[in-house]
């Protein structure tokens, strides 16, 4: 953390006015912004995410999603860190959160907590799918908007915008249009209620805590099929069998869930292709072609 931003935090008009920062340690894991553990003279520990001035928009979307998720989380089993401060300072943007003592324990509480969050949010859902504002999925754009039907929401708000950004697939545009309509039609047949989802649930955005509870953070939330969170947990690994068993004990799998994993994870492959290129473009193309074969079978 640069000295200017550190001074900004404890300035007379800063979020840590009256405090003294006794230690700053870099925290690894992020690929977009910088993350830090702050130790204060009053023995508090905080998590700080920092970036340039234009990072404030991303931090604002993240803070709003954390607040929304926190409304439905059972804190006895799942901790969603709640924003302490969001600031545009002279030397950059900062989001302050509670420090979480991460562990490597069993993921039973993590799975149960996520299921309870999905279940509780369904009871207060907005009767439509989407989100009220534009946001971000990592550093990529995640459009806001609403649709009454789930398939229309997933295609219009997630798949199609990513495909419009990606120009290097080398696939016939007419074939892609047919595929997207097939995906929308298939998902529209599902009789489901919207759930508030984390939206970017890979292993780096979830953990067990030292006290045994689970925790989720760095979300890209929206009202969606709860299965989109479970699908992403299978994309990059990091989730064990106890996670899935405890989730399923609260919300049993719906018929055809395994067949929908590739559909839902196509969104994240396309986003990674747009952000990082390389092999993600090949994976996206292979996934699209595989889904096309499935739709035609």
Ordered structural domains, the chain, with CATH: 3-99 (3.30.200.20), 103-296 (3.90.1200.10)
Query: 194 with 127: CB under 8 angstroms?
Result: yes
Mean pLDDT by 10 residues, the chain (297 residues): 87 91 84 87 94 94 98 98 96 95 92 98 97 95 98 98 88 89 96 97 95 97 98 95 98 95 97 94 93 82
pLDDT at 31: 61
- Among 8, 156, 200, 225, the active-site one is 200
pLDDT at 297: 67
Query: 114 with 244: CB under 8 angstroms?
Result: no
pLDDT at 3: 84
pLDDT at 273: 96
pLDDT at 217: 97
Which residues touch 280 (CB under 8 Å, ≥6 apart)?
269, 272, 273
For 157, the token pair is 């708000």
Active site residue 200: yes
Separation CA 213–CA 230 (nearest Å): 19
């Amino acid at each position: 953390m640069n000295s200017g931003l550190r001074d900004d935090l404890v300035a007379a008009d800063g979020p840590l006015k009256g405090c003294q920062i006794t230690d700053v340690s870099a925290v690894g894991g992020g690929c977009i912004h910088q993350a830090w553990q702050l130790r204060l003279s009053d023995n508090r520990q905080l998590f700080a995410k920092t970036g340039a001035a234009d990072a404030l928009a991303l931090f604002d979307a993240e803070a709003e999603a954390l607040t929304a998720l926190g409304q439905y989380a059972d804190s006895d089993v799942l901790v969603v860190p709640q924003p302490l401060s969001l600031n545009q300072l002279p030397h950059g943007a900062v989001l302050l959160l509670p420090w979480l003592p991460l562990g490597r324990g069993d993921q039973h509480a993590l799975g149960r907590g996520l299921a309870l969050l999905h279940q509780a949010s369904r009871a207060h859902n907005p009767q439509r799918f989407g989100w009220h504002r534009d946001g971000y999925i990592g550093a990529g754009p995640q459009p806001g908007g609403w649709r009454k039907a789930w398939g229309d929401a997933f295609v219009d708000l997630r798949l199609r915008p990513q495909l419009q950004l990606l120009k290097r697939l080398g696939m016939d545009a007419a074939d892609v249009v047919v595929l997207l309509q097939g995906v929308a039609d298939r998902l529209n047949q599902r009789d489901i209620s919207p759930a508030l989802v984390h939206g970017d649930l890979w292993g780096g955005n979830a953990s067990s805590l030292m006290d045994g509870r689970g925790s989720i953070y760095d979300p890209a939330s929206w009202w969606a099929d709860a299965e989109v969170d479970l699908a992403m947990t299978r994309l990059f690994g990091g989730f064990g069998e106890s996670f899935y068993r405890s989730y399923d004990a609260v919300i049993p799998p719906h018929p055809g869930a395994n067949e929908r994993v590739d559909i839902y994870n196509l969104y994240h492959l396309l986003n990674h292709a747009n952000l990082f290129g390389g092999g993600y473009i090949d994976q996206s193309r292979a996934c699209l072609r595989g889904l096309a074969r499935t739709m035609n079978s």
